[in-house]
Amino acid sequence: MDEAREETGRDPTPGDDPAPSRRPARAVAVWIAAAVVVAAGGIAFLMAGREAPPVGVVGVEIVEGAAAIGGPEGGPQSKDAQPVLDPASHPKGALAGEPAPEMSFPLFDGSTFVLSEHLSKDGRPLVLNFWASWCAPCRDEIPEFSEVAESNPDVAFVGVAVEDGWDPAKEFAAEVGASYPLGYDENGSVTDNYPFIGLPVTYLIDADGVIARQVHGQMTGPALQAFIDHDFGA
């Protein structure tokens, strides 16, 4: 009571807070805690970048409205396990059924990939994969795609770095050592005509130059093989 008289200059009355000076401190603590939560959320958002969620990697995850591949009872799937996926029921993407837009970009081996030339001279259906040096899932996906490419000689593969720089993309390509050509979207002919919502993203283009499917997110080798078998009849 003496402390209350010293702080207020009068005798305390019923209902007075015996320690009113503590309320500002309590409010400050609440605001600091809220700021920490908001800051942590912002950092997590920035760290997420534009990496797309995985398809066919672990558990069951909804990607573009479709269930990703998982192991028994939704558990992780081993690399050699058969995919728990029905390609016929998996969404094909907004551009499926449309003619694949023309694109041209330099490859790191010194040549140039031109879609129209590939269709007229090579004639094989194409797996077109978008990646970037800063995309961690891309680093895991490309080795699996390389194995699938080696197992499917009747299907052409090409990967193109988007939203990236030439030097880091070229260095990345040398590190991953893909079994198929990798290049760089130098003039924007890829990103301007093939929309995507994150990386990696893969387009399956049939031998007639029609987009059979677009898949957003990281895929395992078995998932890609399932789409190839269904969409290309390989």
Residue 51: its pLDDT value, please?
Answer: 53
**Mean pLDDT within 162-172:** 97
Find the Cα–Cα–Cα–Cα dihedral 63, 83, 72, 135, rounded to 10°: -50
Confidence category of residue 183, pLDDT binned at 50, 70, 90: very high
**Mean pLDDT within 98-107:** 97
Tokens encoding 150: 């080696």
Residue 214 has pLDDT above 70, yes or no: yes
Q: Where are the beta strands (DSSP E) in 59-150?
A: 62-63, 66-67, 104-106, 112-114, 126-131
pTM of the entire predicted model: 0.69
Residue 229: its pLDDT value, please?
Answer: 96
Sign of CA dihedral 114, 119, 123, 125: positive
* Residue 15 to residues 18, 20, 78, 103, 129, Cα–Cα distance (Å): 9, 12, 66, 77, 70
Is residue 212 within 8 Å of 134, Cβ to Cβ? no
State how far the Cα of 145 lies from the Cα of 164, in Å rounded to an integer.
Answer: 20
* Residue 18 to residues 10, 28, 37, 169, Cα–Cα distance (Å): 12, 19, 31, 66
**Mean pLDDT within 74-97:** 70
Query: Among candidates 89, 41, 82, 45, which has minimal Cα distance to 64?
Result: 89
